[in-house]
Amino acid sequence: MNDKLKVLVRLDLDCGQAEVAAQGHVTAKSLQALYVVVKRANHLKEGLHLVVDVSHARVEPAAMEQLQACSESHHLPASIDPLQAECNISVLAPAPPVAAHKGTERATRLRSRAMSLAA
């Protein structure tokens, strides 16, 4: 896997959903850049449901904890969003290391479930 962080944003403003998919290496430092992308997507439409998909990334434990904390609090870190706007985030975490095809199937099911919950 590449250490460079690659981010793709998919938006469906009619349905009020966005997916921010990251690939590469997510560290506590690179997570700050990911948060900026999430913040920009969140400000496109009030009440937008954001799915942060890191299922195809190598995520350091500290970064995963920070993402989960944002998901639970519905806010981005104050250093990123000083106004603390409501941010409805779901996180798709990497699958535990198992057979490659099983991990891919699980990620696909989780992504589908997260997007259907937002609908």
pTM, to two decimals: 0.77
SS (HEC) of the chain: CCCCCEEEEEEECCCCEEEEEEEEEECHHHHHHHHHHHHHHHCCCCCCEEEEEEEEEEECHHHHHHHHHHHHHCCCCCCCCCCCCCCEEEEECCCCCCCHHHHHHHHHHHHHHHHHHHC
56 CB burial (10 A radius; 0-12, 13-18, 19+)? middle
Looking at the chain, how many residues does it have?
Answer: 119
pLDDT at 102: 54
The structural domains of the chain, ordered by start, are: 6-118 (3.30.750)
- pLDDT values of the chain reduced to their tens digit, one per residue, 119 residues: 457 899 999 999 899 999 999 999 999 999 999 999 999 999 999 899 999 999 999 999 999 999 999 999 999 999 999 999 999 999 999 887 655 555 566 666 666 666 666 55
R_g of the chain computed on alpha carbons: 14
Write down the residue that tokens 């699980």 correspond to. 106
Q: How far apart are CA 18 and CA 50, in angstroms?
A: 5
pLDDT at 4: 87
pLDDT at 101: 52
